[in-house]
Amino acid sequence: MKIHEYQGKQLFAKAGVATPKGIVARTPDEAAAAFTQLGGPIAVVKSQIHAGGRGKGRFKEHPDQPGVKVVKSAEETRDHAKRMLGNTLVTIQTGPEGKQVNTIYVEGGLNIARELYLAVIVDREAGSPVVIMSSEGGVEIEEVAKHSPEKILKEPFHAGYGLQPYQARRLAYQLGLTGPAVASAQSFLPKFCKFFVENDCSMAEVNPLVITAEGELVALDAKVTFDDNAMFRHKDLAELRDLSEEDESEVRAGNTGLSYVKLDGNIGCLVNGAGLAMSTMDLIKLHGGEPANFLDVGGGANVAQVTEAFSIILADKNVKAVLVNIFGGIMKCDTIVTALLSAYDTVGFTVPLVVRLEGTNVEIARKMLADSGRKIIAATDLTDAAQKVVATLKA
């Protein structure tokens, strides 16, 4: 689960991680008042969306307006806020459709001496959380990894004991920090790592992490993602979720216990199991089609879930055909067909439906399909299924 920058910074502040002073605004007047309250002489107006690249991003409605702007007066703050709020910001991470800005964050200026990069993630290979830092602040870390990988520092730490002060100092010296900045890093970094662990983050990124002229480390950005699997024990964090930032059909699927990801193609698919669902997309592509989605109905698919799955798939106007691929294990094929037929009738299919079944009770299930009287195309195996569903688009 992702949260907004301002929410991340509020959580940082609670954890003792230094951030600039900032105020949330939802109207141009609130933004202007925020500038006055912060006291100037400069401030930064920042669009709040769940995507990076905001500084270079531009608004659809105002092609000259950047998503982040330095301002020098309350009036100027109000003007920029007017052009941001309610409008659509397009960045390299939002895709061409962009994202609507509903909230802005007005932040006080800092006397910046240096910009660094900081992130904590869980390193699968090391089996532990790891601090990633680089002297190249404000630059995409992927770019740094590509062009100067030697500038990326990694410091794994123990999830139980946290980042030790000597580890923070090691990072500081490697980054060439001196004087008060080393002391600041020794305080800042362990607190940041503690924040990561205590809140079950899957990623916490600060880009840039600035060192002020006074030698203090301050988080100028906050990109925080939580582990969805751990949200059951963080009810307070779960409340920070902004549904308007998420794909409507993906939210709907999640509420029904389905795993769904929308894609750009025109062949919808309904599959049991994540691995098989991914493979089904691959199979469609191999045979010249384009998958419209990833959809895993899980191991215990019932009538309600299959019905919801079909209606989510068909709500996508691009979908011109649907492929169902089920390998019945403990969940028997005939049980799945019963659910399929019921859902088929409820949803009202208008596009071709190809069904491939294999596994437990497949013979009974195939006969049920054949005798059902519905216009369902039966496939004998995976390849046959892919060929048939792609062929329906050409017919």
- Residues acting as catalytic residues: 117, 205
Site string for other proteins, 187-216 (x = CB under 8 A): ----------x--x-x--------------
Interface with other proteins by CB under 8 A: which range of 23-31, 173-181, 322-330, 366-374?
322-330
- Site for other proteins (CB under 8 A): which residue of 73, 153, 358, 372? 358
- Site for other proteins (CB under 8 A): which residue of 8, 28, 98, 291? 291
Burial 159-195 (b: 16+ CB within 10 A, else e): eeebbbeebbbebbeebebeeebbbbbbbbbbbbbeb
- Site for other proteins (CB under 8 A): which residue of 20, 66, 108, 129? 129
Site string for other proteins, 156-185 (x = CB under 8 A): --xxx-------------------------
Between vectors from CA 98 to CA 35 and to CA 74, what angle results, nearest 5°?
10
Interface with other proteins by CB under 8 A: which range of 15-23, 213-221, 236-244, 282-290?
282-290
For other proteins, the closer CB: 202 or 249: 202
Interface with other proteins by CB under 8 A: which range of 28-36, 147-155, 275-283, 340-348?
275-283
Determine the Cα–Cα distance for residues 370 and 190; give it in Å rounded to an integer.
64
- Would you count residue 316 as binding other proteins (CB under 8 A)? no
Size of the site for other proteins (CB under 8 A): 55
Q: Taking Cα atoms as reference points, which of 39, 12, 211, 244 lies closest to residue 110?
A: 211
Residues 1-40 that bind other proteins (CB under 8 A): none
Determine the Cα–Cα distance for residues 222 and 231; give it in Å rounded to an integer.
19
H/E segment holding residue 293: strand 293-296
Place of tokens 């006074």: 214
Determine the Cα–Cα distance for residues 90 and 98; give it in Å rounded to an integer.
4
For other proteins, the closer CB: 202 or 392: 202
- Site for other proteins (CB under 8 A): which residue of 14, 63, 96, 125? 125
Least distance from C-beta 314 to other proteins, angstroms? 21
Least distance from C-beta 35 to other proteins, angstroms? 34
- Would you count residue 393 as binding other proteins (CB under 8 A)? no
- Site for other proteins (CB under 8 A): which residue of 70, 213, 238, 286? 286
C-beta of residue 295 within 8 angstroms of C-beta of residue 256: no
- Would you count residue 124 as binding other proteins (CB under 8 A)? yes
Determine the Cα–Cα distance for residues 9 and 5; give it in Å rounded to an integer.
6
- Phi-psi category of 12—alpha, beta or left, where left has phi over 0 and alpha has psi -120 to 50? alpha
Interface with other proteins by CB under 8 A: which range of 20-28, 137-145, 178-186, 316-324?
137-145
C-beta of residue 136 within 8 angstroms of C-beta of residue 71: no
Determine the Cα–Cα distance for residues 353 and 324; give it in Å rounded to an integer.
8
Least distance from C-beta 162 to other proteins, angstroms? 12
H/E segment holding residue 116: strand 112-123
- Site for other proteins (CB under 8 A): which residue of 261, 314, 351, 378? 261
Residues 211-250 that bind other proteins (CB under 8 A): 227-230, 232-233
Least distance from C-beta 57 to other proteins, angstroms? 17
Bond preceding residue 63 cis, omega within 30 of 0: no
**Those residues with Cβ within 8 angstroms of residue 301's Cβ, 6 or more apart along the chain or in another chain:** 272, 309, 331, 336, 339
Task: For residue 158, give the DSSP letter.
Answer: B
C-beta of residue 45 within 8 angstroms of C-beta of residue 77: yes
DSSP codes of every residue in 273-291? SHHHHHHHHHHHHHTT--B
C-beta of residue 36 within 8 angstroms of C-beta of residue 74: yes
- Would you count residue 281 as binding other proteins (CB under 8 A)? yes
Structural tokens at position 378: 């039966």
For other proteins, the closer CB: 120 or 175: 120
For other proteins, the closer CB: 36 or 128: 128
The binding site for other proteins (CB under 8 A) comprises 122, 124-125, 127-129, 141-142, 145, 158-160, 197, 200, 202, 227-230, 232-233, 259, 261, 263, 271-286, 291, 294, 296, 299, 327-330, 358-360, 381-383, 386
